[in-house]
Amino acid sequence: MSIIAREIKLPVLNCDSCGACCMEQGTPPGYAIFASPLVAEQEKQQYPDYAIYRDMPEGLRVELRAYYAAALAGRTPWRDDPKNPQPCLWFDAEMRRCRHYEHRPDICREFEIGSKECLAWRQRYNAE
């Protein structure tokens, strides 16, 4: 009697060792507005992620402002080659996770694990 081996796909239940959705972000999505000196503080407060940005450690805000300034000046890899987008600034490629997970924006918090989009990112970056 022969045994036929089949691969069974298990549902995706967490983000552990994945990070596929972080591979083309450049920075945490939605935070650029807060680093802009051209946008009034009162206007910034209208955005849902304002409290997260405001309450994160100053060092993280400094890091983001420096990245956005470099991007505007054309000094980031993403700006140099838009066909080769870069992973999120906060992505730890070795551990395949966010270095500042507790300070991630709402869009990252709301991304549905195991959704059609999640599975597409995982397939694109071989994180299955």
pTM reported for the whole predicted model: 0.80
Query: What secondary structure letter does DSSP report for 11?
Result: P
Q: What is the model's pLDDT at position 80?
A: 56
Q: What is the model's pLDDT at position 92?
A: 94
The number of residues making up the chain comes to 128
Q: What is the model's pLDDT at position 13?
A: 79
How much of the chain, in percent, has pLDDT values that exceed 90? 55
pLDDT digits (tens, 9 = 90+) for 68-80: 888 888 787 665 5
pLDDT digits (tens, 9 = 90+) for 10-34: 778 788 889 999 998 888 999 999 9
Comparing CA positions, the residue from 127, 110, 94, 93 lying closest to residue 18 is 127
C-alpha distances (whole Å) from 32 to each of 18, 36, 112, 113 are 24, 7, 23, 25
Comparing CA positions, the residue from 55, 34, 30 lying closest to residue 111 is 30
Q: What is the model's pLDDT at position 59?
A: 97
Helix (H) or strand (E) holding 109: helix 106-110
The ranges of the chain with pLDDT < 70 are 1-5, 8, 77-82, 127-128
What is the domain partition of the chain in residue ranges? 20-124
